[in-house]
Structure formats: structure tokens, C-alpha cells
């Protein structure tokens, strides 16, 4: 990971969100939902965080600082819209 990302608040925020999800994903159960609703929510969450993981990987893999910054900005806009 490029060192400049460690100091980017958006990067840290999205990585923290992904880490929290991965640490607690199996334990997330809402007793107010039916099993079908719970499964749908779980599926949506898995898809969302898989996409976030992919976006973060693409940002980290970009070698051009300006392009990396643009990817980070786009990833954060997507994340903020869909979370």
C-alpha cells in the first residue's frame, strides 16, 4: 500500500468500516427481521463489502498518485452513497 493512503481520512474510514464488517459479520442478527429478510440483508452486506474490498484494492494498486487520488475520491463517493 502506498504510504500516502495511510494518512487519507477517506481511506482510513473505508478500511475501518470493512474491518468492522469482517470482524462482526457472522454475529450481525436483527431479531426484528424474518429469516428471509435477514438473509437478504446479509447478502446485500456481503455484496457491498466485497465491492468495497475490490475498490480499495484497486486504489492501493494504482501507482500514479493523481490517479490514485481520483480513484480514492470516486470510491469514497460510492461508499458514502451506498452504505
pTM for the whole thing? 0.80
Residue 27 has pLDDT above 70, yes or no: no
Q: Is residue 11 part of a domain?
A: no
Q: What cell numbers appear for 68 in the block? A: 490514485
| Domain span at 66 | 34-83
| Domain annotation covers residue 17 | no
Residue of higher predicted confidence among 76 and 34: 76
Q: How far apart are CA 19 and CA 1, in angstroms?
A: 16
Report the number of distinct structural domains present in the chain: 1
Reading phi first (left if > 0) and then psi (alpha if -120 to 50, else beta), residue 28 is in: beta
63 lies in a domain?
yes
Average pLDDT on 44-58 reads 93
Rounded to an integer, what distance in angstroms lies between the CA atom of residue 5 and that of residue 69? Answer: 9
Is residue 81 predicted with pLDDT exceeding 80?
A: yes
60 falls within a domain: yes
Higher pLDDT, 26 or 10: 10
Amino acid at each position: 500500500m502506498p504510504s500516502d493512503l495511510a494518512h487519507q481520512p477517506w481511506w482510513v474510514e473505508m478500511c475501518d468500516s470493512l474491518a468492522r464488517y469482517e470482524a462482526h459479520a457472522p454475529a450481525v442478527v436483527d431479531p426484528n427481521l424474518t429469516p428471509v429478510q435477514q438473509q437478504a440483508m446479509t447478502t446485500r452486506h456481503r455484496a457491498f463489502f466485497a465491492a468495497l474490498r475490490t475498490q480499495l484494492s484497486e486504489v492501493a494498486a494504482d501507482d500514479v498518485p493523481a490517479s490514485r487520488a481520483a480513484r480514492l475520491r470516486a470510491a469514497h463517493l460510492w461508499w458514502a452513497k451506498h452504505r
